[in-house]
């Protein structure tokens, strides 16, 4: 790496950029070819990349962790100017990363039982699969199972073990998924309209950027706590309404 020139004094060759971003050189060139990265600055015949290129690569990886397809990532990045500074890209990533879902894990049956805190027989595995919590890996000779959400495995295993009809569990899961998806979309839009857009319209002051990044990190646990408490209250109200006078 050389100092001087480039944004923030950072000048990286394509090999150095790939190493810093944790991707291959082939991936960097592929993204550049799709227009996800701005062209490098040239010094003779050598392309040099700066902090803005690194920040954009890190944002692409964050979007991938959210499960977005390449086409969706391209649409998202088209709304961000190619000359956007690294600080703006870092803010975009900070607003996304606290909400990024867990990555799926492939576990053998012994480790699956250990994580779930109980033995999961074939019937329970099928019920968990119907709930979308695990996926069978049919071509795996070791019999591994892909856990879509490791954090949900324990409570989902307890639910699947209840003597309830599978249709009841699936309908309940779908209801929760439908309403939480709509709630998340509405809250995200509120945050964009009332926080992010005023920040951009106000000139992107550095102190405001720092405040937004700090707030993004604290928002998730507070929103989850609020959601759980509100849901508990809503369930209590629904139960009271269901009891005859």
Q: Which residues sit opposite 10 in a β-bridge? A: none
Lookup result for tokens 């050389």: 2
Q: Domain boundary at 49, 82, 99, which? A: 99
Q: Are residue 118 and residue 61 in the same domain, yes or no?
A: no
Q: Is the pLDDT of residue 139 over 90?
A: no
Query: pLDDT grade, residue 101 (50/70/90)?
Result: low
Q: Are residue 159 and residue 193 in the same domain, yes or no?
A: no
In a domain, 147, yes or no: yes
Q: Domain boundary at 79, 99, 119, which? A: 99
In a domain, 1, yes or no: no
Task: Assign 3-class secondary structure to 111-169.
Answer: HHHHHHCCCCCHHHHHHHHHCCCEEECCCCCCCCEEECCHHHHHHHHHHHHCCCCHHHH
Residue of higher predicted confidence among 76 and 2: 76
Rounded (5°) CA angle 45-51-57: 90
In a domain, 116, yes or no: yes
Query: pLDDT grade, residue 77 (50/70/90)?
Result: confident
CATH number (domain holding residue 55): 1.10.1660.10
The answer to whether the beta carbons of residues 149 and 133 sit under 8 Å apart is yes
Q: Is 120 in a helix, a strand, or coil?
A: coil
Residue of higher predicted confidence among 53 and 212: 53
Q: Are residue 18 and residue 73 in the same domain, yes or no?
A: yes
- Which domain range does residue 197 map to? 168-242
The answer to whether the beta carbons of residues 53 and 86 sit under 8 Å apart is no
CA 8 – CA 10 distance, rounded (Å): 5
DSSP 83: T
Q: Domain boundary at 80, 99, 118, which? A: 99
Q: Is the pLDDT of residue 72 over 80?
A: yes
pLDDT of residue 1: 36
Q: Is the pLDDT of residue 2 over 50?
A: no
Q: Are residue 158 and residue 172 in the same domain, yes or no?
A: no
pLDDT of residue 28: 93
pLDDT of residue 81: 82
In a domain, 22, yes or no: yes
Number of domains composing the chain: 3
Q: Are residue 175 and residue 216 in the same domain, yes or no?
A: yes
Q: Are residue 95 and residue 52 in the same domain, yes or no?
A: yes
Q: Are residue 158 and residue 221 in the same domain, yes or no?
A: no
Q: Are residue 18 and residue 87 in the same domain, yes or no?
A: yes
- Phi, psi of 2, rounded to the nearest 5 degrees: -115, 150
pLDDT of residue 127: 92
In a domain, 118, yes or no: yes
Lookup result for tokens 């003597």: 163
Q: Is the pLDDT of residue 4 over 70?
A: no
Residue of higher predicted confidence among 97 and 239: 239
Q: In 10-108, which ranges are continuous DSSP H helix?
A: 14-21, 25-33, 51-65, 70-78, 86-96
pLDDT of residue 30: 92
Across residues 110-120, what is the average pLDDT? 90
Q: Are residue 185 and residue 224 in the same domain, yes or no?
A: yes
Q: What percent of the chain has pLDDT over 90?
A: 27
Across residues 49-76, what is the average pLDDT? 87
Q: What percent of the chain has pLDDT over 70?
A: 92
Across residues 123-144, what is the average pLDDT? 82
Across residues 202-212, what is the average pLDDT? 80
- Note the pTM of the prediction, 2 decimals: 0.59
Q: Are residue 189 and residue 122 in the same domain, yes or no?
A: no
Q: Which two tokens stand for residue 50?
A: 């700066």
In a domain, 71, yes or no: yes
Across residues 43-48, what is the average pLDDT? 91
pLDDT of residue 157: 92
pLDDT of residue 210: 80
The answer to whether the beta carbons of residues 152 and 133 sit under 8 Å apart is yes
Q: Are residue 13 and residue 87 in the same domain, yes or no?
A: yes
In a domain, 2, yes or no: no
Q: Are residue 236 and residue 206 in the same domain, yes or no?
A: yes
In a domain, 76, yes or no: yes
């Amino acid at each position: 790496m050389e100092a001087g020139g480039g944004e923030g004094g950072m000048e990286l060759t394509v090999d150095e950029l790939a190493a810093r971003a944790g991707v291959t050189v082939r991936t960097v060139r592929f993204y550049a070819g799709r227009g996800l990265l701005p062209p490098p600055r040239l010094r003779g015949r050598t392309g040099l990349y700066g902090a803005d290129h690194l920040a954009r690569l890190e944002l692409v990886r964050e979007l991938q962790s959210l499960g977005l397809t390449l086409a969706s990532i391209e649409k998202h990045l088209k709304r961000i100017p190619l000359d956007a500074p690294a600080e703006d890209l870092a803010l975009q990533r900070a607003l996304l990363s606290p909400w990024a879902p867990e990555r799926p894990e492939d576990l053998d049956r012994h480790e699956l039982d250990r994580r779930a805190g109980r033995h999961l027989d074939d019937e329970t595995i099928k019920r968990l699969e119907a709930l979308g919590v695990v996926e069978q890996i049919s071509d795996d000779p070791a019999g591994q199972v892909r856990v879509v959400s490791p954090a949900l495995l324990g409570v989902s295993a307890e639910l699947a073990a209840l003597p309830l009809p599978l249709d009841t569990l699936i309908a309940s899961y779908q209801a929760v998924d439908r309403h939480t998806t709509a709630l998340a979309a509405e809250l995200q839009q509120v945050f964009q309209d009332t926080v992010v857009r005023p920040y951009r319209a106000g000139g992107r002051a550095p102190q405001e950027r720092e405040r937004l990044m700090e707030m993004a990190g604290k928002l998730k646990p507070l929103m989850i706590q609020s959601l759980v408490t509100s849901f508990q209250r809503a369930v209590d109200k629904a139960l009271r309404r269901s009891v005859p006078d």
